[in-house]
Chain A
C-alpha cells in the first residue's frame, strides 16, 4: 500500500461519513457550474438581459463561493477533529508531521477532485434544463446548450483553489496539537460560559429590531431598514452564543420544570449541542432568512403579474393628437413589428371627440360605444349597452372604482348641446392608467354622431384625437415591439410627467419584461442558494450526529439499562434533534415574518400589492421540507443507536 493508496482508502472507506458532505459539496459545484454556464452564454443577444445575466450570476457566484468556503472550512475542521484520535495513533506509530500534512492534503484533494468532477458532470447534464427554465422566464426564443471551455475553467479554478485553501488551513489546525492531545481527543463540554449582559443584549437587540419593524409599518422610513438589519444581525449572534444558554440556565434552575422525566436529559444534551453549534446556527439563520426573503419576494411577483395585467388591459396603446405627423407611420411600423414577431393582434381605433361638460366646465373626451364594445370583445370583458342620452365614465386607475360616486349625473355637452346622463363608471379598466389626461366618457353612437360642433375656440379637426389599442393575446412577448417609440417617450417624458409630443405610446409588455427579468433572476439565485444552504446545513447536522454516534450509543445503552422505554428514548432524541433542526429555522421564520411585514408596508406604498398570501405559502413550503428532512434524519439516527 503506497502512501497515496492509504489516503485514497481513508476517503473511500469512510464514504458513509463523507456521504452528506459529498452531497452538499457536489451540489454546490453543480450550482456554481450552471450559473457560470449562463454567465458565459454566447447566445443572449439582448444587451439588457446580457447585463442582468452576467451581473446577477456573478453576484450569485460570489455569495456561493463565500458560503461554500465557510461550509468546507467548518466541515473539514469538524472532520479532522473527529479523526484526531486516528491522527494521534499515526503520529504515535512514527509518522512524521510532514507526512501527516501530506496525508491530509492528499485526502482533501481527493475529496475536492471527486466533488468537482461529479459536480461538473451533473451541472452539465442539468444545464439544458436550467436554460429551458431561464428561457421561459426571460421569454427568449432559444437558449441552446453550448460547449465552451470558459465555464469549465472557471469552476475548476475556483473550487480547486477553495479546496487547496481548505486543506492548507486544516493542516495548520492539526499541526498545533501535541500527540497526547490528539490521542485523548479535544476537551469537550466546557459549557455554561455565557455572559449575562451579552444574553440580555441579544434579547434587547432582537426586540428593538422587531419593534422598529412594527413602528415602520405605520411610519415608513427606508433608512430605518439599515438599522433594523444591523440590529437583527448582531442580535441573532448574541442570541445563539449567550441568550439561549441563559434561557436554558433559567429553566434549569426551576427544578419543577427541569427535573421532569426525560426533560432532564433532553435539556442538558440540547444545551450542549446548541453551545457547540452556535456559530453554525447563526450563519444558517441569516442565510435562510435571506433565502426565504428572496423566494418570498419573487413569489409575490405572481400576484403582481395578475394585477399588472388588470391595470394595463391593452397590450399596446398609442394615442395621437390632430397635429401628429407620424400617426400613420407609427401605426404601420407597430403593425409590422407585431407581424415580424409572429404575434397575432387586434387593432381597435377610437375616434375621440372633445367637448366641454356643462357641470364642471372642464374638457372631456367622448368615446363611441361601438368602439369600446369592439375592444371589449377582444378583451373578453362585458359589453355595454347604452341608450340614447346615457353615458358611462371610463375609469382611469383602480382607485376610481371606489372614489367616483356611482350616482347618476346630468350634464350637457355644451358646444353641441347634447344632454347626457352619466350612470356611473364602467367597471373595467380599458386604457392604461396615464394615457388619458382628461375625463373620458362613453356615449351612445347616435349621441356621438350628434356632436358636430368643435371645442370652444378650436377648429373641428383640432377638437378630436385618435386612440389606437392593440390587443395582443400573448402580451408578454411584445417586448421587442415599439422599442424606439418607447425610447422617445422615456427621453421626452423625463421626470416632469408632461408629454411634449403630439402622441403618447405605452407598451406594458416591455415594461413588464424588465421587472420580470430582474425578479426571476432573484428567484433563481435565491432558490438555488437556499437549496445549497439547506443541503449543507443538513449535511452538517448529519455529520455531527455521525461523529458523536459512538458516544451517544453508549449513553443510550446506559439509559436503556436504567429503564428508559422506547417512547421516552424517541422523546430524548427529539429533544436533541429538534433544536438543531428547528432553532435556526424558527428564528429565520420569525425574522422573515417581520421582514415581510416591513416589505408589505413598503410594497403598499409602491404598488398596492398584497404579498401576505404568497409569503405564507413560501414559509409553509419551507417548513414542510424541513419537517420531512427532520424525520428522515431522526429515522436514520434512531436506527443507528438501536443496533
Chain B
C-alpha cells in the first residue's frame, strides 16, 4: 500500500488573475521510498509540498496520507496529524533562534507531551547519529550552515515520522555540507525505512534518491528510477532537465568527475 497517494490534485489560486499552480497531478509514493521532485521555477513544487504538508488544500482531487485523508480531518486533528506523522526540513533551516540545538530538536516531542526521559534519550541517539553532540548547548546563530541543517534533520527525525518533507535542503549549503546532509538523508531512509520526499533544484541532490519526479507548469512531465551507479543516474537526470527546458539557471553546472 502506498504511503502517499495523490489523485488528480489541482490547485488554483484565486485572485485578480487566477493562476493554475497544479493541474491534475497524480502519483504514489511507496513506504520507505526516497523521492525527489524536480522542476523549473514556478512549476508548482512548493505548492505541491504545501498540499502534501496539509497546510494547503487542493482545489480539487484527492490525497491519502498514511491511510488518512487530511481533507476530512478537523483543523485540530490535522495539527496533531502533522505533529506525529510528518517531519520537515527547510532550505533556510528555520531553527528557532531562541532555542539551543538540543531544544530545537526536542521541540516536536515537547509539543506532543512526551516525558523528559524519553526526550533526553531520543536527543542523545539522534545527536550521536548526526554528529551534533559537541554543539548541543549552542544556539543556531553560533553554528555553521551544515550543522544547522543537521539540527533541522534531527528535529524532523526525532518523533519518528512516517514521512519527511524536505524543501531544497541543500540550497543554502556549501558542497561538502550538502553532501553530508544528503548522505545522512539517504542513510536514514535506508536504515529506518523512513519515506522522504525532497523538492530540489540540484541534480546532485536528486541523484541520491530512488526516483525523481519531474513536473512542469504544475503537470506531470516525466519520472526516472535510479540505477546501479549514481553517476549515470545523474547524467540521466541532466538529460531530462535539458529536455524540460526550464530556465538555464535552473541547470546546475556542476558535473561529477
Contacts and interface: CB of A to CB of B under 8 A. Distances in A.
Interface residues of A, number: 30
Given A562-B108, A562-B111, A563-B108, A265 B75 contact: no
Interface of B: 53, 55, 75-76, 79-84, 86, 88, 90, 94, 96-99, 103, 106-113, 116, 119-120, 139, 141
Nearest to B81: A563
Nearest to B85: A563
Contact of A563 (B96, B98, B111): B111
21 contacts: A188-B97, A189-B141, A191-B98, A260-B110, A261-B110, A261-B111, A262-B110, A262-B111, A264-B106, A264-B110, A269-B98, A272-B97, A554-B94, A558-B94, A561-B88, A562-B107, A563-B83, A563-B84, A565-B75, A567-B76, A568-B111
B106 A259 contact: yes
A410 to B, nearest CB: 84
Contacts of A188: 97
B82 A563 contact: yes
Nearest to A260: B110
B100 to A, nearest CB: 9
Contact of B55 (A190, A269, A561, A567): A561
Interface string A610-626: 00000000000000000
B79 A564 contact: yes
A260 to B, nearest CB: 6
Nearest to A192: B139
Nearest to A271: B98
A563 B80 contact: yes
Contacts of A272: 97-98
Contacts of A265: 96, 98-99, 107
Nearest to A262: B111
B196 to A, nearest CB: 16
Contacts of B53: 561
Nearest to B95: A558
B107 A565 contact: no
B107 to A, nearest CB: 6
A214 B71 CA distance: 63
A268 interface: yes
Contacts of B110: 259-264
Nearest to A259: B110
A240 to B, nearest CB: 18
Interface in A242-269: 255-256, 259-265, 268-269
Given A259-B116, A264-B107, A562 B98 contact: no
Nearest to B114: A259
A303 interface: no
B120 A565 contact: no
Given A259-B116, A260-B110, A562 B90 contact: no
A191 to B, nearest CB: 8
A566 interface: yes
A262 B55 CA distance: 20
A375 to B, nearest CB: 74
B108 A255 contact: no
Contacts of B75: 565-566
A189 B139 contact: yes
Given A256-B116, A561-B88, A566 B107 contact: no
B88 A255 contact: no
A261 B82 contact: no
Interface string A174-194: 000000000000011111000
A560 interface: yes
Contacts of A563: 79-84, 86, 108, 111
A193 B79 CA distance: 36
A90 B75 CA distance: 44
A562 B55 contact: no
A187 to B, nearest CB: 8
A189 B97 contact: yes
A567 B141 CA distance: 29
Interface string A183-218: 000011111000000000000000000000000000
Contacts of A260: 110, 113
B117 to A, nearest CB: 9
B76 A565 contact: yes
Contacts of A259: 103, 106, 109-110, 116, 119
